[in-house]
Amino acid sequence: MSAPKKLFIKTYGCQMNVYDSERMAEALGGEGYVETKSPDDADMILLNTCHIREKAAEKVYSELGRFKGLKAEKPDLKIGVAGCVAQAEGQEIMRRQPLVDLVVGPQSYHRLPEMEAKAREGEKVLDTDFPEEDKFEKLKNRPKAKRGPTAFLTVQEGCDKFCAFCVVPYTRGAEVSRPADRILREAQDLVERGVREITLLGQNVNAYHGAGPNGDMTLAQLIWELDKVDGLERIRFTTSHPNDMQDDLIEAHGTCAKLMPYLHLPVQAGSDKILKRMNRAHTAESYLRLIERIRAARPDILISGDFIVGFPEETEADFQATLDLVEEVKYGTAYSFKYSTRPGTPAAERPQVDPAEADDRLQRLQALLTKQQREVQDSMVGRDVTVLFEKAGRFPGQMVGKSDYLHAVHVADCDRAIGDLARVRILSSGANSLAGALID
């Protein structure tokens, strides 16, 4: 038998790309590839890319440039670009960087084995179709290898919202939900391989409406089905849109013990004028009332958000409205970005904000968000939480895991194993994590 070929995958962007990279590795695993941690000994390099902001997309070209020497030494090395830049730029990638052999979009990567074979024969291959067939079904012959205690599971993909700044509806396509039975089968399989916590993924995950035994199911109904899976201890989901936060999902946060008290609910901005121009179809007020209802169902829930500053025509007063909203919500975590002009999106045509002004606003917003994040984290001290242990710590006997609220927790003198859950009393709060002790 010949030695296995080696595959190096580098993943950029969101959690869905992490999930997709695992699937691509499995698809090529069937062709005799094993993963390697270094590009230097790879027979194939795949960059799974992100197009969300200009910086993310440009990174791909500088990374590709770095493989020039490697390719010169090893003419058989194949280089592929997958993900959202592949979808958005297609052929242009091969024009800009001739060392690329293969370009595959996020909806076509189940065809990688055939594409790889063609690339081996010296062909340049490109597939950025949105095919009819179900890529997840084509990929279902998974190896049964053991895995870590947490996993992602894509349940919905694509987006029909068309926020004025965003490339996702173009790179991922229209919103599609996977049928519930296939998701449940995949969850069962993950649990058998050691997974204790599953994060359900979708660009608009709470708009989930996959086929179930009695018609379409809501995300809450899917969560209740997953709740019955023995051995699955925790369920999370991301990312939600405020307009799809249905009553049964809010209620589940109060009643489903496996559903973790954490919700990523991006608002993007606090000014109604800007929200309207962003095509968000909600107001600051409707978002705040929604948060109130969610907190009424689950008072201790940790709220996380995404923000864009410097959106076209954002004034200082508009920005102030974002700060006001943040003050009111009190976020446990948040991601904030300076607006990045994306070709082909409606906002790209609008008058842009002065970049220096946008930088200044981003700094001010981040200072406030960091302060809130720290306050929420500090408020955990003295409380008892459940921790799912994910790895050994830096010190002998120490273990590290995540609390229900997704805070990293370090536990000293810990006799538990990876994948165990334990009650932990929080003793102190550091820069980016908590420290606690096991409660007997």
Structure tokens at 296: 């009424």
DSSP state of 434: E
Structure tokens at 77: 């090395």
CB-nearer residue toward ligand SAH: 306 or 360: 306
DSSP state of 394: S
**In terms of DSSP bridges, do strands 211-212 and 262-264 run parallel, antiparallel, or are they unpaired?**
unpaired
CB-nearer residue toward ligand F3S: 16 or 103: 16
**Least separation, in Å, of the C-beta of 406 and ligand F3S?**
19
Work out which of 16, 126, 207, 226 binds ligand F3S, going by CB under 6 A. Answer: 16
342 touches ligand SAH (CB under 6 A): yes
179 touches ligand F3S (CB under 6 A): no
165 touches ligand SAH (CB under 6 A): yes
CB-nearer residue toward ligand SAH: 116 or 157: 157
339 touches ligand SAH (CB under 6 A): yes
7 touches ligand F3S (CB under 6 A): no
108 touches ligand F3S (CB under 6 A): no
Work out which of 49, 107, 199, 340 binds ligand SAH, going by CB under 6 A. Answer: 340
Q: How far apart are CA 112 and CA 197, in angstroms?
A: 29
Q: Are 148 and 390 in contact (CB under 8 A)?
A: yes
CB-nearer residue toward ligand SF4: 8 or 287: 287
C-alpha angle 361-432-328 in degrees, rounded to nearest 5:
45
The helix-helix angle for 355-378 and 316-329 (nearest 10°) equals 10
Residues 280-319 binding ligand SAH (CB under 6 A) are: 306, 308
Choose the contact partner of 162 out of ligand SAH, ligand SF4, ligand F3S, none; CB within 5 to 8 A by kind.
ligand SF4
Q: Which stretch binds ligand F3S (CB under 6 A): 132-140, 166-174, 341-349, 386-394?
A: 166-174
Q: How far apart are CA 53 and CA 143, in angstroms?
A: 34
Tell me which residue of 80, 73, 85, 82 sits closest to 40, measured CA to CA: 73
* Burial of 299 per CB tally in 10 Å (0-12, 13-18, 19+): exposed
60 touches ligand F3S (CB under 6 A): no
Choose the contact partner of 342 out of ligand SF4, ligand F3S, ligand SAH, none; CB within 5 to 8 A by kind.
ligand SAH
- Measured in whole angstroms, how far is the alpha carbon of residue 76 from the centre of its chain? 33
Question: Which residues lie below 8 Å from residue 80, measured CB to CB, with a gap of 6+?
Answer: 44, 45, 46, 47, 100, 101, 102, 103, 104, 115, 119
Choose the contact partner of 340 out of ligand F3S, ligand SAH, ligand SF4, none; CB within 5 to 8 A by kind.
ligand SAH
Q: Which stretch binds ligand F3S (CB under 6 A): 49-57, 266-274, 383-391, 393-401?
A: 49-57
Binding-site ranges for ligand SF4 (CB under 6 A): 159, 161-163, 166, 168-169, 203-204, 241
Q: Are 339 and 366 in contact (CB under 8 A)?
A: no
Q: How far apart are CA 246 and CA 248, in angstroms?
A: 6
Choose the contact partner of 50 out of ligand F3S, ligand SF4, ligand SAH, none; CB within 5 to 8 A by kind.
ligand F3S
CB-nearer residue toward ligand SF4: 48 or 206: 206
107 touches ligand F3S (CB under 6 A): no
Choose the contact partner of 16 out of ligand SAH, ligand SF4, ligand F3S, none; CB within 5 to 8 A by kind.
ligand F3S
Q: How far apart are CA 210 and CA 328, in angstroms?
A: 35
CB-nearer residue toward ligand SF4: 236 or 241: 241
Residues 38-97 binding ligand SAH (CB under 6 A) are: 52-53
Tell me which residue of 229, 187, 168, 212 sits closest to 14, measured CA to CA: 168
Buried b (16+ CB within 10 A) or exposed e, 339-354: bbebeebbbeeeebbe
DSSP state of 396: T
- Residues that bind ligand F3S (rule: CB under 6 A) add up to a total of 13
> 233-272 mask for ligand SAH (x: CB under 6 A)?
------x-x------------------------x-x----
Work out which of 153, 168, 302, 334 binds ligand SAH, going by CB under 6 A. Answer: 168
Question: Which residues lie below 8 Å from residue 32, measured CB to CB, with a gap of 6+?
Answer: 2, 4, 5
Structure tokens at 219: 């995300």
Contacts 24+ apart (CB under 8 A), 59-63: 59/12, 60/12, 60/85, 60/93, 61/96, 61/97, 63/10
Q: How far apart are CA 167 and CA 186, in angstroms?
A: 29
81 touches ligand F3S (CB under 6 A): no
Residues that bind ligand F3S (CB under 6 A): 13-14, 16-17, 50-52, 83-84, 167-168, 171-172
Residues that bind ligand SAH (CB under 6 A): 52-53, 165-166, 168, 203-204, 239, 241, 266, 268, 306, 308, 337, 339-340, 342
